[in-house]
Every structure is written in C-alpha cells, then in structure tokens.
Amino acid sequence: MTKGIVLEGIGASPGVAFGHVHLIDRRRATYPKFHVPEHQVALEVRRLLGAVAEARAALISLKERAPDHSAILDAHLLMMEDPMLLDASRRYVTDEKRCAEWALRSAVQDVRSRFDALGDAYFRERRSDVDFVGDRILSAMTNTDSGRIEAAPHDAVVVAHDLSPADTIALSKRKVRALVTEVGGATSHTAILARALDIPAVLCCAHVTERAGTGDLVIVDGSAGEVVLEPDEALIARYHGVADERARLFATLQREVGQPCVTPDGRRIGLLANVEIPDEIPSALAAGAEGVGLYRSEFLYVNRQDLPAEADHTEVCGAILDALGDRPATLRTFDIGSDKMARAVKLPREHNPALGLRACRLGLARPPMLRSQLRGMVRAISARKRGSILLPMIGSLEELLAVRAVLDDELELLAGEGVDVWRELAVGVMIELPAAVWIADELAQHCDFFSVGTNDLIQYSLGIDRGNEQVAHLYQPLHPGVLRALAHTVGAAQRHGIPVSLCGESASDPALAPVLLGLGFDSLSMPGLAIPRVRYVLSRLRFDEAQQLVTECLKQGRARDVEALVNEVVQRAIPEAIALLRDAAHG
C-alpha cells in the first residue's frame, strides 16, 4: 500500500492517538440463506426466539458491568422486543419459509430502510442501532462473533464499518487507543460514548476498511477528523507536534474548568450542556458545564412500537436532575415529526415533515402524548424542586397559550392526586421559527425564558437544508439576516425582563462567541466538549468591546464582511486564540 495516506472524516471525539489497526467489519460475515420445508418452520421460529433471548441475556449482563451506560443499552433491549422486528422475522419464516438467519436479516433490512427514508440526521443515525441488534441476535443464533471485539489488543486503533454502543463499551474496558468508522455522525451513539469515555474518534471516514489492514501503523486526529495510514517519520513527527500543541492548549483550558465564565469587565455568561441521555452528563460536568441547557427527549421515542409512558419520562428526567446535583436543567418536550412517529401514533406520511406536524403542533394534535410527557416532567421536577420545561417550534401566541393551558391543567390534576407540585416551575419558548422572532415581544409576556435554536432558525431563515450538499455552503451563521433576528430576539427578552439562552450548534463555535457575547445572551448551551474552548474566548474578551463589534456587524450586508470584523477583533484582543479557533474549525 502507499504510505502516508491521509483520510478525512468527522472528528467526533478529540485527541491524537498512535497505534496499530485492529480491523472489524461485520459486513463480511456470512449466514445461512435457504428455504426450509413446512415441517421445520416451527423449529426455525423457536431458534429465532431462543437467539433473541440469548442476545438479551448478553446485553443485560453487559449493562450490569457498565451501569454508567445503561440508557443506550436499554434502547437496544427495547429494540429486541420491538414487534416490527420480531413479527417481521416470524412472517419471513412462516410465510416465505426462510431459515431463521435469512428471515432475521430480511426483517432488519426492512426496518433499516424506514430509517433511511427519514429526513432528520438524528433518526437516520438510529438505523445503525437496528443493524447492531440484528448482529447480536445473529451471532447468538450462529454461535459466532464476527466482530472479534475481545481480540482487540490494548494498544489497538479499532477500524470498523460501524460500532455498536455495546462494542464501544467493551472496547473501553480494553483501553484501546482510538476508534475509526466509515459511518456515523456527531449524534450517533458511537460518538456520544467515545466522548464520554475520552477515546479519540473519527467517524464517517469513507473506505477506511478497504484501505487499512490489521497491524498497520495509524494516526488518528479526533479533533481534525484525520486518519493517517502507514505514516512516514515526517508525518509521525508532525502529529507528535500537533499532539504536544493540543496538550498544552488542553492544559490551559483545563486549568479554567470549574471557574465561572466572566469577561474582564465583569459580564457573566452561563455555559451549559446539551444532552440526550443521562450518560452524557458526567463528561459534560468534567468539561465545566454548569448544568443542562437542553435535554433532547427524542431518544425516548426512538425504535418503539408504543409511546413512552408517564413513568418513563419521570424516570429519565429524574436521572438527569439527580446526575446534575443542584445544577439547573432545561427539559425540552419532544421535537418529533409525524413521519418518525407513524408506528406509534398512526399519522399519515407527509411530503415535507420539516414544515408539517411536529413538536408542539403534534402534541396539540395528539394531547395524550403531550400530557403524558408533561406529567412525567412535572413529577420529576417537583420531587426535586429544580428544572424547567422548554417548548419547541412555537410559531404563534395561540400555540404557546394552548400548550400552557394543557400544562396548567395537568398541574392541577397532579396536585389533586396528592403530588406536591412545584409552582415555581419555569416554562420557556424555543425561538427557532422566523415567525417567533418577530412576535418575540408578545411571546415574552407569556413565558419565563427564551432559548434560541439556531440550527432550525438559520435553515428556515435562509431557506436551506444543511444536509443537502448542493446548498450546504449557504448555511451562514453570520448572515446579516440571522444576526438581526438574534438581536431582535435578545432585545425582546431584555425588554420584558426574561433570560435568553442560545442552544444551537452556533453556541459551540469559539469563532462565533464574540458575536453571541455582544448580542447579550445570558447563557450558551452546547456539547460538553466545546465548553472549555468557548470559555477561553469569552473570558478574555471585554463585553463592551463585543457590543461595539455587534453594532458594526449589524450594519453589514454580507456574511464575509461580518466574518472579517470578527476576525479583526479576535486578532487584536486575544491573538493567542487564533490556534484555538483554527482547531475548532476542524473539530
């Protein structure tokens, strides 16, 4: 092979690692594929159900050995009970007379295809979970482990087409150096666990299993999203230099972990974490998170035939609040579209789900869904006298008042049932629709805080889909139209005396931090690992200087002119942050 090949992917967990490739590719595994006679159908069904039971027992055993990651493993256990998977497998055996292995793989492909058709990146990444569940059942059925997880040496860099959460947990016990996969994204379970376990990881690295061989020397840069195969001495020296530079920067950032984020002229900014499961909280707190600014509750709805019960919401929300101690937490009600919930709520498929029945609109159209989640959240919050509720995709005052009426009704019902309801519970509105921006003054009179979701706000404002490579380059957080919408929202919050936070992807970019500071946001919520870098920039830039910067930015007509102004201020005020921002641009 050619030495020194640099492959690019998504930097999912930071750090530089050196090691030797341990290759895992379950796609190369073979399984029986034949039709069975009628008299053998019952036996094949028993084999299928027996393999499911064995795979469940293995996952339960792993869950007991790794209790810190139980939430993700619980999701796989639920999938093993999913009628969509099990009933389809049975039908392939009974109706088409396929052997159990072939029937299972066919059913897995059916379920996977449904996830492939979804437009939301978060839900598309859940298709891998279906593959993992199928692989575990198939391994139990054939008494094989095509992944050879346990064979990975302690200094291995594991290279795979994909890894399951169970794989990642098992590999962490073996102290592997890094993870590289061909699929997955920043919200995949592999990425979440890699960050929680502090293992450098690069995902979505195309064709790496074809280019890498077991035993090959490899370098993984989880910040830049680079994988170097068979590096020469010059490349090894270069990446050792990168690792040393990052180590010095990390040491600087770590010295400030736990300190409040305060500008030199005394402006205090809260730095919070975005999470979807309780497992993410320890690593977020270790990075300096002061609480959770956004809990995405969609995880509870993934891969289920039925809707989560009130008790499910109470349990998970309670676990998040308990993991935070006395720190704050903002719990968002579900932001799910009808296409992703068709199995549970039997809604017709829509041509454009992003503009259809989703989030609070779906909750108001299906009140039992909304009421169950609100009751579960209220129970968890009231028991601890901490926490707030955030309402997504509010586009009109009527929607806000309708959801609040449902919440008020449930508060009274719970009180009547003997629950010591916490009456200081705060309710916020997520500003992510342009309509919400321009009626922010009216919304602010009927809620306790704003949280701006820039991911959707930018897409709706600019009319682009970030997942569409043809227009992804037009996704501009510093577009003058976006900045003016943010300025108007902050102004409305300030006029009505309510806090305003920002919880979109923009919050995690240190290069945008001076603008967000100058706009006047009270807090920023982001993935935990981004907090040290954002704190570094904010704590070295004067608030009054950031305000002057924003005043000039709002006069500009082009995003590139705004970027030039921001870069000029950063270079003048904190020139040592340039390397930090360059590194953030990669990771």
Residues forming the active site: 189, 503
Q: Which amino acid is at 223?
A: S
Retrieve residue 509's tokens: 């970019």
Q: From start to end of 135-198, where are the E strands?
A: 156-160, 178-181
Distances in Å between the alpha carbon of 511 and those of 7, 375, 400, 453, 504? 26, 40, 34, 18, 14
C-alpha 123 chain-centroid distance: 10
Distance CA 531, CA 523 (A): 12
Tokens of 328: 């704050």
Whole-angstrom distance, CA of residue 353 vs CA of residue 340:
9
Non-local CB neighbours of 52 within 8 Å, separated by 6+ positions: 80, 86, 137, 140
Q: Which amino acid is at 27?
A: R
Round to whole Å and give the CA distance between 581 and 587.
Answer: 10
Q: Which of 127, 8, 107, 114 is nearest to 52 (CA)?
A: 107
For 427, the enclosing helix (H) or strand (E) is strand 426-431
Nearest Cα to 568, choosing from 583, 553, 558, 557? Answer: 553
Q: Which residues contact 304 (CB under 8 A, 6 or more apart)?
A: 78, 82, 343, 344
